Structure 1
């Protein structure tokens, strides 16, 4: 869970999706997907891993299988991207994220790398 109440009242965490990996050490970030059953609204946010140094921004997007979508991303983002909200009662959703940077680990030097990923169609209906 990210920050209690950050989505607003009535949202429950549905899923998490790791973004990128470092040979099993850590993901570059985590996509969080929430849903509010009382109003049919999905909420997504991307939070970076504490050991990942963001160098060129972050972004998150959320779309439904009817073609509606929302996105948020900027080169200035270094901690999280989002939130994005999408009302999609009875429809499948897909969440995606992107982050560019490198891992902060001992005895390691990494070149900047863009990591992207997310879910397939999930939480239909």
Structure 2
């Protein structure tokens, strides 16, 4: 009986350790209720930049979120329309988990957005023009 219990314990331990490690954190809801993720871009092993949208307000929202919280590091998030002389909305600082949320009314307009975690960044240009669209991704 003891041998059977040991075998069952080993099988359970093997199954648990075989599970893949989660490498990205799910969107944390920081933009608030009514905002849904419409696009995202990874920040090379460090986190993800999320673009969300609220149909009720016509606003886009961006956060740059780390994969896991920890010691405060430089995190940056930005959002702007693609129109000439567009104002860039941004948040930067040393944070433990995310930068933002930042908001911009951009209903039916294309946006540029992105972020940085420490020294690694990602940007998307000319995306989400009133609908889900890929845009051009640049990693920096």
Equivalent residue for 1:3, pick from 22, 25, 28: 28
Whole-Å Cα distance in 2 between the matches of residues 54 and 42 of structure 1?
29
Is residue 19 from structure 1 mapped to residue 43 from structure 2 by the alignment?
A: yes
Whole-Å Cα distance in 2 between the matches of residues 47 and 8 of structure 1?
15
RMSD: 1.9
Moved over 3 A (4+): 52-56
Partner of 1:118: 123
Whole-Å Cα distance in 1 between the matches of residues 102 and 62 of structure 2?
5
Equivalent residue for 1:69, pick from 66, 77, 88: 88
Partner of 2:60: 42
Which structure 1 residue ranges, 5 or more long, are not aligned? 21-26, 101-113
- Using the size of structure 2 for normalisation, the TM-score is 0.66
Which structure 2 residue ranges, 5 or more long, are not aligned? 1-25, 131-140
Pairwise CA distance, 1:15: 1.0
Whole-Å Cα distance in 1 between the matches of residues 88 and 112 of structure 2?
9
Select the structure with the greater relative contact order (CA < 8 A; seq sep ≥ 6): 1
Pairwise CA distance, 1:8: 2.3
Q: How many residue pairs were aligned?
A: 103
